[in-house]
Amino acid sequence: MTVERERLDADVLIVGAGPAGLACALHLSRLIAQHNAGGTKPELSSENIYVLEKGRKIGAHQLSGAVMDPRGLAELVPDWEKTAPLESPVSGDAAYVLTSSNAWKLPITPPPLRNHGNYIVSVNKLVKWLGGLVEQAGVNLFTQFAGAQLVYEGGGIAGVITGDKGIDKDGKPKDNYTPGYELRAKVTVLAEGPRGSLTKDMVNRLKLDGLNPQVYGIGIKELWEVPAGRVETGYVAHTLGWPLDSSMYGGGWLYGLPENRVSIGMVIGLEYHNPRFDPHEAFQKYKTHPFLKRVLEGGKLVRYGAKTVPYGGWYSMPRTYVDGGLIVGDSASLLNSQRLKGIHTSIKSGMLAAETVFDALKTGDASSKTLAAFPRKIEQSWIKKELWAVRNFHQGFQHGLYAGLFHAGIQFLTGGRGLID
């Protein structure tokens, strides 16, 4: 059946309203405003930037409770300390090794887990705030529109077809069937987060894989309200050990939030060998440990969620540009898996993508020749310096926890090289 779709044309289409996508939209709108103020031709318009978000509202797919390195946000929004919805600066941190009944605090917190100068944030609130700034800048932001498939053209992409609505469980049209839109753009920026369906399809179809295949973890998170005095606001604790065995890659955390709330969670590499292991079951066991139980007892669960984490790092980055398209943020494997931080790199990658797209709009050339400037910008920025130093971190844990800790120490001394680069 041939479906007739309404077509909309834009200069720039950004798929995903997370930190990377919104940073790209906001920075690009400001570059356009500066360009137009100078009277330079051609005149551009922020209204020709479209941002698609599959959630019912901005932030619907963002889990609360994260520790953010503010470096990227400080570059995007200079007055961020006065205006951003920050939960708390980190007031103290610690690392523990758990057995089934005890928690042994390490005498020295490992450098990657030190969070002085960082902030605990609600990613949900942060993204809502960024979304407000984007809308104020005149960008068109569309919620409840999921990208169903890419429009391929030549050796690249030319836009997105959004999902049909009014479909039954068998994929057949119902009485309220509405076909999705065909959104065409000079440049399409994929900011879908890890394992985005459009990014996966494009990487596979156009053979954009990095040197190593991407590897993933699962992060499981809960937000709790607990009795007063249980955890200091701004306190950050990370754990290793129980209920994970030494063959597994992963650990847990506890963050103290304002108003007697805490964020707890576990992140677990998905390359575990035991087919009976269940990450969600392990997380429920984790909460029964005395270290967590004393905090949660008498409290109330507010929210639960889980998300995929891209662990591959620098060597798993796909090629991030094609004719008419860029890949940013977690979709581009820009997470620092050693620090478990990716908000700052996502924001910075969105800004660098905006600068690349801006040049393409000015010249009228959105070919891969022009967009190839994006990975060069990444390599010349602090993103490369940070991720290069941890390029082998996750790979060092392929033989278990203790071998991984040994390799991590060697990598720390060798600037990320380790025994084998």
Q: Which of 13-27, 58-72, 148-162, 283-297 has the lowest mean pLDDT?
A: 58-72
Measured CA to CA, the distance from residue 174 to residue 180 in angstroms comes to 14
Q: Which of 3-12, 89-98, 165-174 has the lowest mean pLDDT?
A: 165-174
- Concatenated DSSP letters for 269-334? ETT-S-TT--HHHHHHHHTTSHHHHHHHTT-EEEEEEEEEEE---GGGPPP-EETTEEE-GGGGT-
pLDDT at 403 over 90: no
The 10s digit of each residue's pLDDT in 194-253 is 989 999 999 999 999 999 999 999 999 999 999 999 999 999 999 999 999 989 999 999
Please list the alpha-helical segments (H only) found in 179-296. 197-205, 279-286, 290-296
Measured CA to CA, the distance from residue 315 to residue 5 in angstroms comes to 39
Residue 306 binned pLDDT confidence (cut-offs 50, 70, 90): very high
Q: What is the DSSP letter of 256?
A: E
Please list the alpha-helical segments (H only) found in 6-162. 19-37, 71-76, 80-83, 123-136
The 10s digit of each residue's pLDDT in 307-356 is 999 999 999 999 999 999 999 999 999 999 999 899 999 999 999 999 99
Label residues 161-188 b or e (16+ Cβ within 10 Å = b): bbbbeeeeeeeeeeeeeebbbbbbbbbb
Q: What is the DSSP letter of 253?
A: E
How many CA atoms are closer than 13 Å to the CA of 340, on its beta-carbon side?
Answer: 25
pLDDT of residue 64: 67
Model pTM score: 0.95
Residue 359 binned pLDDT confidence (cut-offs 50, 70, 90): very high
> What's the whole-number mean pLDDT along residues 19-37?
97
Residue 280 binned pLDDT confidence (cut-offs 50, 70, 90): very high
| Residues of the chain above pLDDT 70, percent | 99
pLDDT of residue 60: 86
- Taking CA atoms, 66 is separated from 124, 213, 286, 378, in Å, by 10, 27, 19, 24
Place of tokens 């391929």: 152
Give the mean pLDDT of the chain: 93
| Residues of the chain above pLDDT 90, percent | 82
C-alpha Rg value of the chain to the nearest Å: 22
Closest CA to 339 of 313, 315, 317: 313
pLDDT of residue 338: 92
- CA angle (5, 7, 11) in 5-degree steps: 150
The 10s digit of each residue's pLDDT in 144-158 is 999 999 999 999 999
> What's the whole-number mean pLDDT along residues 118-128?
95
Q: Given strand 119-122, what is the order of strands in its sheet?
A: 64-68, 119-122, 86-89
pLDDT at 1 over 60: no
The 10s digit of each residue's pLDDT in 30-73 is 999 999 998 888 899 999 999 999 999 998 888 767 999 999 99
pLDDT at 276 over 90: yes
pLDDT of residue 72: 98
pLDDT of residue 421: 64
> What's the whole-number mean pLDDT along residues 124-133?
96
Place of tokens 């309220």: 176
Residue 138 binned pLDDT confidence (cut-offs 50, 70, 90): very high
Chain-centre distance for alpha carbon 2: 36
pLDDT of residue 252: 96
Query: Residue 243: is the preceding peptide bond cis (ω within 30°)?
Result: yes
Residue 411 binned pLDDT confidence (cut-offs 50, 70, 90): confident
The 10s digit of each residue's pLDDT in 182-198 is 999 999 999 999 989 99
pLDDT of residue 415: 80
